[in-house]
Amino acid sequence: MAAIVFDDFSYAYDGTTKALDGIRLEVAKGSFTVVAGPSGAGKTTLCLAACGAVPHYFGGSMAGAVRVAGVDTAAGSMGDIAAHVGTVLEDYESQLVTMTVAEEVAFTLENRGMKHETIARRIGEVLAQVGLAGLEDREVGALSGGQKQRLAIAAVLATRPGILVLDEPASALDPEGAEELYALLAGLNRETGMALLVVEHDLARVLAYADQMVVLAGGRVACQGRPEDVLPAMWRQPGLAAMVPPLWQIKLGLEEKLDESFAAWRNEEEAAAELGGFIAARRRGGEKSA
Ligand SMILES: Nc1ncnc2c1ncn2[C@@H]1O[C@H](COP(=O)(O)OP(=O)(O)OP(=O)(O)O)[C@@H](O)[C@H]1O
Ligand SMILES: [Mg+2]
């Protein structure tokens, strides 16, 4: 069974203008799926639909269905959905409801009736994971924006959801913070099999980890599939080419120019290794013909 299925799903907040239009998308179990697209494309709405807030909190009108771990989100309660999906939205500050960092992580676990010792252990675990170890007693209001964002993620991770939905989770982080966060998420994805649906406009940040990329435009899926298929498709579309990570802009540009085909580079090291070999072979070819 897939983690999340959008089954020809359409949605309009006001009942007429479609924020999402005929979305067919599957997030496989254990997948690291990244959603990109211009402002207003429907990325946040997609997250809201995956956690049931659309339609449960927003009303509006919908067609088709969204299923998370087999649960139809429109038919299931928010509790049924929350048992499978953890969510950190764009407006992460509104998710923080307690006085201190430790209380914040404990909040949902206590509501679920978890034992005190288990909660204490989980608090230490997730705060260390997100880089907030030792800040248990710090007031939430005294944290920086980036720390609050990481706390919101820690509080959700503590519930150990099978599926994690994150809307621009690095928006309040500096470049190193963003890099650390994605390395952490990728590690959890690999080690625990937690499926990820992440909205991230900067695809360079997730290039090393994503196994599916989805580009939304005007509420529809413009491209979706493996990064090695989606990035070239984006490259060929004038409106989407600028969103291709610089490393792949170089790769695709070189391939065109040289009429070559390089591997699906995940990072600069892979690119450098392949280009090093390529240049050496060219040089040997040049020496032979001289
Ligand atoms: N609460 C709302 N009520 C009515 N319309 C909304 C609401 N939220 C979003 N919309 C509209 O739905 C469409 C999709 O918005 P959404 O926020 O999902 O886009 P997005 O891709 O997340 O954009 P951004 O990159 O700016 O975050 C837009 O046309 C937006 O104006
Ligand atoms: Mg958004």
Average pLDDT, integer, range 10-37: 97
Dihedral over Cα of 82, 83, 85, 90: its sign: positive
CB of 19 within 6 A of ligand 1: the answer is yes
**Which of 201, 216, 238 corresponds to the end of one domain?**
238
Q: State residue 21's pLDDT score.
A: 98
172 CA from centroid of ligand 2 (Å): 14
Ligand 1: does its nearest atom lie under 6 Å from the Cβ of 215?
no
Residues 127 and 270 in one domain: no
On whether both 104 and 25 belong to a single domain, the answer is: yes
Specify the ligand 1 atom closest to the Cα of 14. Answer: 4
Tell me the pTM.
Answer: 0.94
Is the distance from the beta carbon of residue 44 to the nearest atom of ligand 1 less than 6 Å? yes
3 token code pair = 């983690």
Same structural domain, 154 and 278: no
Q: Are residues 201 and 288 in the same domain?
A: no
Q: Any idea what the CATH number is for the domain that residue 66 is in?
A: 3.40.50.300
Same domain as 136, residue 97: yes
Edge-first strand listing for the sheet containing 163-167: 85-88, 163-167, 195-199, 32-36, 212-217, 220-225
For residue 288, is pLDDT > 90?
Answer: no
171 and 269: one domain?
no
Residue with tokens 């939304």: 216
Q: Is residue 150 located within the same domain as residue 217? A: yes
Give the number of other CB atoms < 10 A from CB of residue 85. Answer: 26
Residue 36 — very low, low, confident or very high, per pLDDT cuts 50/70/90? very high
Is 286's pLDDT higher than 90? no
Same domain? 218 vs 117: yes
Q: What pLDDT does 1 receive?
A: 87
How many domains are contained in the chain? 2
Of the three residues 222, 238, 254, the one that is the final residue of a domain is 238
Kindly give the distance from the C-alpha atom of residue 69 to the centroid of ligand 2, in angstroms, as a whole number.
24
| Domain of 109, in residue numbers | 4-238
Q: What is the 3-state secondary structure (H, E, C) of 224-265?
A: EECHHHHHHHHHCCCCCHHHCCHHHHHHHHHHHHHCCCCCCC
Residues 206 and 97 in one domain: yes
> How far out from the chain centre does Cα 235 lie?
21
* pLDDT grade for 148, boundaries at 50, 70 and 90: very high
Among 10, 45, 46, 48, residue to substitute to test ligand 1 (most atoms within 8 Å of Cβ): 45
Mean pLDDT of all residues in 67-85: 95
Query: Which residue is closest in CA terms to ligand 1's atom 14?
Result: 42
Domain co-membership, 100 together with 129: yes
What does the pLDDT average to over 100-111?
96
Residues 229 and 95 in one domain: yes
Nearest alpha-carbon partner for 4 in 127, 151, 165, 190? 165
- Tokens 């579309």 belong to 237
Cα–Cα separations (whole angstroms), residue 231 to 34, 71, 103, 191: 12, 32, 42, 27
Q: Are both 196 and 289 inside the same structural domain?
A: no
37 Cβ inside 6 Å of ligand 1: yes
